[in-house]
Chain A
């Protein structure tokens, strides 16, 4: 079993299962804060999948996208936190 088989048959399925579990929380989250946190975690798992996929396809260029995704995750969380705090409860 070389590195490619290990990553393809063990690591990627684990990451897929974990993203499915987070999706469950994303759909059933009781409050909107849960959904924001689950979205943040989904993007973070996406960064991990990109890192593994760049090994599998032998193209390190994919790692650039992970930087962009990390930036988007942070900005999304900050924007959601800001506007949820500003929102009146009556809206």
Chain B
């Protein structure tokens, strides 16, 4: 019974990791590559670790596997956000066919501060009262 579960989880994990690798190679843009890495690779590695936990079925192995999975699930989005922010500051252009760029003209390039939505609203209110 556990053998079948090991087959399923390890096979799905390997397929997800392969999809992440193909996406990293074929995606046209840094931001799309980061997106592929964060989602597909994290899920694939989580499934592979789950396969080893299901194979051994010991408390010590399971706790170790859970620790690794929780660590990866916490750190992968944080790292992806940091490297994506850096890529935006360095000035890497978006893919030509990307439709929206919500951060356009909102980052101060010198102080690296994001112009907040609230400030913009107040500005609009001032304009309204003036007019």
Binding site for B on A (CB under 8 A): 2-3, 6-7, 10-11, 14-15, 17-19, 21-22, 24-25, 31, 33-34, 36-38, 40-41, 44-45, 47-48, 51-52, 54-55, 60, 63-64, 66-67, 70-71, 73-74, 77-78, 80-82, 84-85, 89
Total count of chain B residues near the partner, CB < 8 A: 51
Binding site for A on B (CB under 8 A): 3, 6-7, 10-11, 13-15, 17-18, 20-22, 24-25, 30, 33-34, 37, 41-42, 44-45, 48-49, 51-52, 55-56, 58, 60-61, 64-65, 67-68, 71-72, 75, 78-79, 82-83, 85-87, 89-92, 112
Assuming the contacts A18-B17, A33-B92, A48-B48, asked whether A81 and B82 have C-beta atoms less than 8 A apart, the reply is yes
* B18 contacts across to A, CB distance below 8 A: 14-15, 17-18
The distance from the CB of B22 to the nearest CB of chain A, in whole angstroms, is 6
* A38 contacts across to B, CB distance below 8 A: 24
